[in-house]
Structure 1
């Protein structure tokens, strides 16, 4: 399919909308997100022979899109803190995500957008994209321990922000 323009156009048409939505989760400016998506599709078409069918094509392409977003953000001086051994207890049970009052999906997404950058992308990759810490570590070029720590801290900050928001919403 590499070099076959008609097949590439069909793939683009099939996946462009979904991949644009993913790019928009990381790149706030819609035009920039579109540019990032275009660059990622070009990379995918160039690397098409590397696709081995071990995962669904959409999942393979999604990984390229997210990596392109992260590369773009890094170029914009996105820095991640290197975490030391100060936090050794990591709680990853699903119950720790619970909050006491009902909140909409849109409110949660907005609260994630308001997280500090060093937490926002780890939380997005974990919660929204479904990546595990090893995958997040590879995508963001950070140690697995940093991914775990930033997720824990991001989760705590997210819960606090949502609880504060809900207190204001109720009163």
Structure 2
């Protein structure tokens, strides 16, 4: 076992004993990454920070249930994503099912991206999408959730998840074309 893994395991065990120094260490290790994740789902930095703080409160309340089946970072990430989704549900972001026959699918091979496109340009384009598309795009493309998991998390059907993903990809593609980046 590497020294880093041992230290992380020790920090988690100390957190389970409610040791504040360990809780601060765990927070310091993951707060920046978790803020970035929260920011992907909500545009406002202050709201993202609140969501992250609430997620860490849940982490420390439930750390005793952490079994180590996944890394502690992955476990915290899932809590942060669920907090974001709960926040967005409270805002009543409506994910409407769409008749798939009426969709124009964004063909993966039809994306010609100019060399000048940067990650920040794509991130900005995603952030400018309507929330209902942005959420599904983030969960599917960035977090790696499948349509069944997205459907469960968002309380929608798998068809709706697929529809929102396709529409989000199409809007993203069109947005990038508008700025002559695609």
TM-score (norm 2): 0.79
SS of 1:153's partner is: helix
Q: CA RMSD in A?
A: 2.5
**Residue 143 of structure 1: which of 152, 157, 162 is its match?**
157
CA spacing shift, 1:30–1:105, aligned 2, 3 Å: same
| 2:40 equivalent to 1:25 | yes
Distance 2:98 2:60 in 1: 36
Give distance in 2, aligned partners of 1:53 and 1:88.
45
Residues 146/90 of structure 1: CA separation in 2 closer, same or farther (3 Å cut): farther
Higher Cα Rg, which structure: 2
The answer as to whether partners of 1:99 and 1:159 remain within 8 angstroms in 2 is: no
In the alignment, which of 68, 91, 102 is matched to residue 83 of structure 2? 68
Structure 2, unmatched stretches of 5+, are 1-14
Structure 2 counterpart of 1:156: 170
> How many residues in Structure 1 have an aligned counterpart in Structure 2?
166
Q: 1:37 aligns with which of 45, 52, 59?
A: 52
Q: Does 1:7 align with 2:19?
A: no
Runs of 4+ that moved beyond 4 A: 88-94
Displacement of 1:77 in angstroms is 2.0
1:42 CA drift (Å):
0.7
Whether the aligned pair in 1 keeps the contact of 2:97 and 2:163 (CA below 8 Å) is: no
Q: Please report how far the alpha carbon of residue 81 of structure 1 lies from its aligned counterpart in structure 2 after TM superposition.
A: 0.8
The answer as to whether partners of 2:34 and 2:80 remain within 8 angstroms in 1 is yes
- TM-score, normalised with respect to structure 1: 0.84
User: Equivalent of 1:57, from 68, 72, 75?
Assistant: 72
Contact 2:105 2:167 (C-alpha < 8 Å) held by counterparts: no
In 1, distance between residues paired with 2:61 and 2:107?
40
CA distance, structure 1, for counterparts of residue 92 and residue 64 of structure 2: 32
